[in-house]
Structure 1
Amino acid sequence: MFEIADQLLTALDAGAPVAVVTVTRVLGSAPRPVGASMAVVGGSAATQQRVLGAVSGGCAEARAHELATGVLAAGGVCTEHLGFDEWAFATGLSCGGQLRVLAHELDPSRIDLIAELRAAAAGRDAALALVSRGPSDLLGRVVTPTGGDAVLPREVLAAVRAELAERTVDGRCGSLEASGDLEFAVLVNRVRPRLVIVGAMDVAGALSRLGGQLGYRVSVVDARATFATNQRFPDADEVVVEWPARYLAATQLDRRSVIAMLSHEERFDIPALQVALAGPAGYVGAMGSRHTHTRRVALLRHAGVSAEAIARLHSPIGLDLGASTPMETAVSIMAEVIAARTGAGAEPLATGSGAIHCAVVPA
Structure 2
Amino acid sequence: MREILPALHEWYAAGSPFGLATVVAVSRSAPRDPGAAMAVGPGDEVVGSVSGGCVEGAVFELAREVVASGEARLETFGYSDEDAFAVGLTCGGEITVLVRRVSPADDPAFAAVAESVAAGRPVTVATVIDGPAPRGATLAVWPDAESGPSPASDSGAKAGATQDSDARAGATQDSDARAGATQDSGARAGAAPGTDTASGTGHGTGTGSASGTDTLAGAGTVSGRGPAVMPGTAAAPGAGTATRSGAATAGAAGVAGSLGTTGLDVAVTADARGELALGATGQRHYGPHGERREDAVSVFLHSFAPPPRMLVFGAIDYAAAVARIGDFLGYRVTVCDARPVFATPKRFPPGVEVVVDWPHRYLGGTTTDARTVICVLTHDPKFDVPLLEEALRRPAAYIGAMGSRRTHDERRERLAEAGLTERELSRLRSPVGLDLGARTPEEVAVSVAAEIVALRWGGTGTPLTATAGAIHPR
Please give the TM-score of this superposition, normalised by the length of structure 2.
Answer: 0.71
2:137 to 121, 124, 141: 141
Aligned letter for 2:93?
G
Range that drifts further, 179-188 or 158-167: 179-188
Name 2:102's counterpart in structure 1: 106
Q: One-letter code of the match for 1:108?
A: P
Match of 2:12 in 1: 12
- Do structure 1's residue 152 and structure 2's residue 260 form an aligned pair? yes
Amino acid of the residue matched to residue 331 of structure 2?
A: Y
The answer on 1:167 being equivalent to 2:275 is yes
Count, aligned residues: 353
CA contact (8 A) 1:194 1:256 kept: yes
Residue 121 (structure 1) shift: 2.1
Q: Secondary structure at the match of 2:447?
A: helix
* Structure 1 residues 236 and 9, CA gap change in structure 2 (3 angstroms): closer
Contact 2:138 2:258 in 1 (8 A): no
Q: For the residues of structure 2 that align with 1:151 and 1:344, how far apart are their CA atoms?
A: 38
CA drift of 1:134 comes to 2.0
Contact 1:210 1:331 in 2 (8 A): yes
Q: C-alpha displacement at 1:149, in angstroms?
A: 5.0
CA contact (8 A) 1:6 1:118 kept: no
Match of 1:240 among 342, 345, 355: 355
C-alpha distance in 1 between matches for 2:349 and 2:91: 39
Instruction: State the partner residue of 1:115.
Output: 112
Partner of 1:200: 315
- AA aligned to 1:237 is V
Matches within 5 A, 1:77-92: 77-85=72-80, 86=82, 89-92=85-88
What are the Cα deviations for residues 13-42 of structure 1, in whole angstroms up to 9, with x where unaligned? 133221111111112210111111100110
Task: Report if aligned partners of 2:139, 2:259 keep a CA contact under 8 Å in 1.
Answer: no
Counterparts of 1:88 and 1:182 in 2: how far apart (Å)? 34
Distance 1:87 1:10, change over 3 A: farther
What's the offset of the Cα at 1:61? 0.9
Conserved 8 A contact 1:208-1:236? no
Q: Is the 8 A contact 1:35 1:185 kept in 2?
A: no
Contact 1:284/1:312 (<8 A) preserved? yes
The alpha-carbon distance between structure 1 residues 324 and 274, as it changes in their structure 2 partners (threshold 3 A), is same
The C-alpha deviation readout for 1:171-214, integer Å capped at 9, x for no partner, is: 22112222253111221111111111000111111111110111
Q: 1:50 aligns with which of 41, 45, 54?
A: 45
Q: Answer yes or no: is the 8 Å Cα contact 1:208–1:235 preserved in 2.
A: no
Aligned positions of 1:256-295 closer than 5 A: 256-295=371-410
Deviates more, 1:9-18 or 1:188-197: 9-18
Distance 2:358 2:304 in 1: 33
1:87 Cα deviation from its structure 2 partner: 6.5
Contact 2:18 2:41 in 1 (8 A): yes
Unaligned runs of at least 5 residues, structure 2: 142-253, 288-294
Structure ranking higher in helix proportion: 1
* Contact residue 139 and residue 258 of structure 2 kept, 8 A: no
1:34·1:185 contact (CA, 8 Å) conserved in 2?
Answer: no
Q: Secondary structure at the match of 1:177?
A: strand
Aligned to 1:353: 468
Q: What's the CA shift for 1:216?
A: 0.5
1:227 aligns with 2:342: yes
Deviations 1:88-131 (A, max 9, x none): 85114211111111111112243433322221122221211111
**More divergent stretch after superposition (110-119 vs 253-262):** 110-119
Q: Distance in 2 between matches of 1:176 and 1:2?
A: 22
Q: Structure 1: any 5+ residue segments left out of the alignment?
A: 43-47
Q: Deviations over 1:140-176 (max 9, x none)?
A: 0112224465562322222211111111111221122
In structure 1, distance between residues paired with 2:103 and 2:255: 15
Task: Specify the alignment match of 2:128 in structure 1.
Answer: 131
Deviates more, 1:27-36 or 1:65-74: 65-74
How far apart are 1:245 and its partner, in Å?
0.8
| Worse overlay, 108-117 or 235-244 | 108-117
1:184-199 to 2 correspondences below 5 Å: 184-199=299-314
Q: Do the aligned partners of residues 354 and 124 (structure 1) sit closer, same or farther apart at CA in structure 2, a change above 3 Å counting?
A: farther
Which whole-Å deviations, capped at 9, do the CAs of 1:241-293 have from their partners, x for residues lacking one? Answer: 11101111111111111110111111111111111111112211100111111
Q: Which moved more, 1:254-263 or 1:85-94?
A: 85-94
- Cα distance 1:25–1:89, how it changes in 2: closer, same or farther (>3 A)? farther
d(CA) in 1 for partners of 2:135, 2:24 = 12
Contact 2:128–2:259, Cα closer than 8 Å, also in 1: no
Cα displacement (A) at 1:49: 2.4
If asked which structure has higher relative contact order (CA below 8 Å, sep 6+), I would say 2
Asked if the contact 1:19–1:103 (Cα under 8 Å) also holds between the matched residues in 2, the reply is yes
For the 8 Å contact 2:128–2:137, the answer to whether it is kept is: yes
